[in-house]
Chains A and B, each alone.
Chain A
Amino acid sequence: MEIYLPVAEMSVNWLVLVALGIGVGFLSGLFGVGGGFLMTPLLVFTGIPSTVAVATTLSHITASSMSGALAQWRRRAIDFSMAGVMLVGGVFGTMFGVWLFALMRRQGQMDLIVSLTYVILLGIIGFIMMRESLATLKAYRSGIPVSHHVVNRGWILGLPFKMRFRQSRLYISVIPPIGIGFVVGTLSAIMGIGGGFIIVPAMIYLLRMPTRMVMGTSLVQIIAVTSFTTVLQATHNFSVDIVLAGLLVSGGVVGAQLGVRAGAKLRGEQLRFLLALLVLTVWAGMAWQLVAPPADIYSLAEAAP
């Protein structure tokens, strides 16, 4: 059951990794997120060096997203023009992120910045999503239609460079999608995530894209950003383990397919509620790690050669 990972230079139980891939892949397919914010911490927990975990998780996200995106594509639920516009920002964001990564590592506060970024982002997004999905679910039960204009979008509507996104039935400025792409690209390089948990809420609440289009479009954006980041990580840090990637991906793609099917049976509001619950669970775990007294205040870091 043990298999040797050539880049991580360690033996691991491959069944555990495939199972991890299936589990996280299922959630990816269900919510249209990459699952990096779950996978990276879980891999580190199984003893894989964090540099390898961050870089290799990206391949898992690429595959799960590919699998999910094709399923969405058949349902004609992808807005390619929106994904393309976001990708312009994504490429620049990734390059900025890799530069920022090197800067933070020189300052020696990489771990802290990553944890804080996770806690702040997951906290904000989780609570906003939870509040809104609870309000929607409550309104749904009582039968009173709820106003969807919770976020003030006046400033977004006023921006220049407007473009028509036919599939999403939107006529908005390209600046917000490019900005979202840039932020997500940056975070992808720093945190080893696809950024679905940011793109999805941003598309729903900032751009007001139809929920039906959000899943597929975010997956396309994630595929592009994670592919680009994987190549950058492989060439800059030599930290992508192809055997580990193969194991995670094999489980991930199966899980993603099952997730997409399960997702089709649930309503959008229920999906948002469950995603909010998941994000808040991870948030609570990471926040606890930041403030809980560590078992050992000393930790060992293999110095880069």
Chain B
Amino acid sequence: MRPRLLVLACLLLAAPYGAAWAEDLVSGISQDTIQITSNYTGTDIVVFGAIERPQSVQGRNIVVVVRGPDHAITVRRRNRIAGVWINNDAARFEGMPAYYYLASTEPVARIAPQDALARYGIGLQNLKPSAIGSHHDPEPFRQAGIRHLQREALYVESPGSIDFLSETLFRTRVPVPASVTRGQYNVEVYLFRNGEVVSAQSTPFFVDATGLERRLFNMAHNAPLYYGLACVAMAMMLGWISAVLFRRPD
């Protein structure tokens, strides 16, 4: 994670001092916070941008990457032992994004060579955990973990999903599904020219719960005893009310 950020930071710092004729990128997002309310079922965030001092369309590519907060995932493998399927292998990957969405003008493998993609962590295959806990070759576990998250629509690669409104103005819609984690998300926009990143921009947005949802979540973590007692009280009271309401005249 860290080397990737470092490369990105250097690039961002270096950009203004680069040659005046260089292509540059300006981008923005439609909203910088997403509020989770009781009827939240997922939403879209629009990432848009413009290319300054454009050169030819040939050899130019845009990649938009949205990363959720880092967390650890554990992938387990079952084996058949005495006729029963038992989880007997596991690998733990730390520093994997909770959400990863990639939009690009072309499949990423066609945009840049593998080492460039790996440096920026572009593409699901280039998601490298910061630490691995495993007794075996972790690669099949990592593949399986990514496959599962793809199935849950938390890891998405969506090539060809960037719309150009003009030769220099582009836009893409990034879904933020209902099952996302709260926290800081980063939108990274890369401008590729002949397989090299020539400009990049990173913009954060936040996903957070509001109102009642937030209060309940906070209470569950800050005052768990009262929260638990409240749950029990609610359950008992509803049970009691129903017994009274449904009372049979006997």
Residues of A near any B CB (own CB < 8 A): 2-4, 6-7, 9-11, 59-60, 62-67, 69-71, 74, 108-109, 111-112, 116, 223, 227, 230-235, 238, 240, 242-243, 245-246, 249-250, 253-254, 256-257, 261, 290-294, 296-303, 305
A303 and B73 in contact (CB under 8 A), knowing A6-B213, A112-B87, A234-B225? yes
A305 and B71 in contact (CB under 8 A), knowing A7-B217, A60-B235, A256-B242? yes
Q: Which residues of chain A are near B72, meaning CB under 8 Å?
A: 303, 305
Q: How far is the CA of A292 from the CA of B80 in the complex (A)?
A: 10
Q: How far is the CA of A9 from the CA of B40 in the complex (A)?
A: 11
Interface size on B, residues (CB 8 A): 65
- B178 near A4 with CB under 8 A, answer yes
Instruction: Give the 5 A-B CB pairs with smallest separation, nearest first.
Output: A66-B239, A234-B228, A298-B144, A253-B242, A70-B243
A-B contact pairs, 26 of them (CB 8 A): A4-B178, A6-B209, A6-B212, A7-B217, A9-B182, A10-B178, A62-B235, A64-B239, A66-B236, A70-B243, A71-B246, A74-B247, A111-B87, A233-B228, A234-B225, A235-B228, A238-B221, A240-B228, A249-B238, A253-B241, A299-B78, A301-B75, A301-B76, A302-B71, A303-B72, A303-B74
**B39 in the interface (beta carbon within 8 A):** yes
Q: Which residues of chain A are near B71, meaning CB under 8 Å?
A: 302-303, 305
- Chain A residue with minimal CB distance to B81? A112
- B243 near A71 with CB under 8 A, answer yes
- A230 near B231 with CB under 8 A, answer yes
Q: Which residues of chain B are near A293, meaning CB under 8 Å?
A: 80, 85
- A297 near B179 with CB under 8 A, answer no
Q: How far is the CA of A266 from the CA of B86 in the complex (A)?
A: 41
Q: Which residues of chain A are near B90, meaning CB under 8 Å?
A: 108, 301
Shortest CB-to-CB span from A52 to chain B, Å, is: 11
- A234 near B78 with CB under 8 A, answer no
A67 and B243 in contact (CB under 8 A), knowing A4-B213, A231-B228, A300-B148? yes
- A230 near B232 with CB under 8 A, answer yes
- B239 near A2 with CB under 8 A, answer no
Q: Which residues of chain A are near B209, meaning CB under 8 Å?
A: 4, 6
What is the 8 Å Cβ interface bit string for chain B, positions 212-236, against chain A (1 contact, 0 not)? 1110110011001101111110111
Q: Which residues of chain A are near B232, meaning CB under 8 Å?
A: 59, 62, 227, 230-231
A7 and B141 in contact (CB under 8 A), knowing A231-B232, A301-B75? no
- Chain B residue with minimal CB distance to A254? B242
Q: Which residues of chain B are near A305, meaning CB under 8 Å?
A: 71-72
Query: What 15 additional pairs, Cβ within 8 angstroms, besides A234-B220, A253-B238?
Result: A2-B178, A11-B179, A67-B246, A227-B232, A230-B235, A231-B225, A232-B228, A235-B225, A235-B228, A240-B220, A249-B239, A297-B78, A298-B75, A300-B144, A301-B90
Shortest CB-to-CB span from A152 to chain B, Å, is: 32
- A240 near B240 with CB under 8 A, answer no
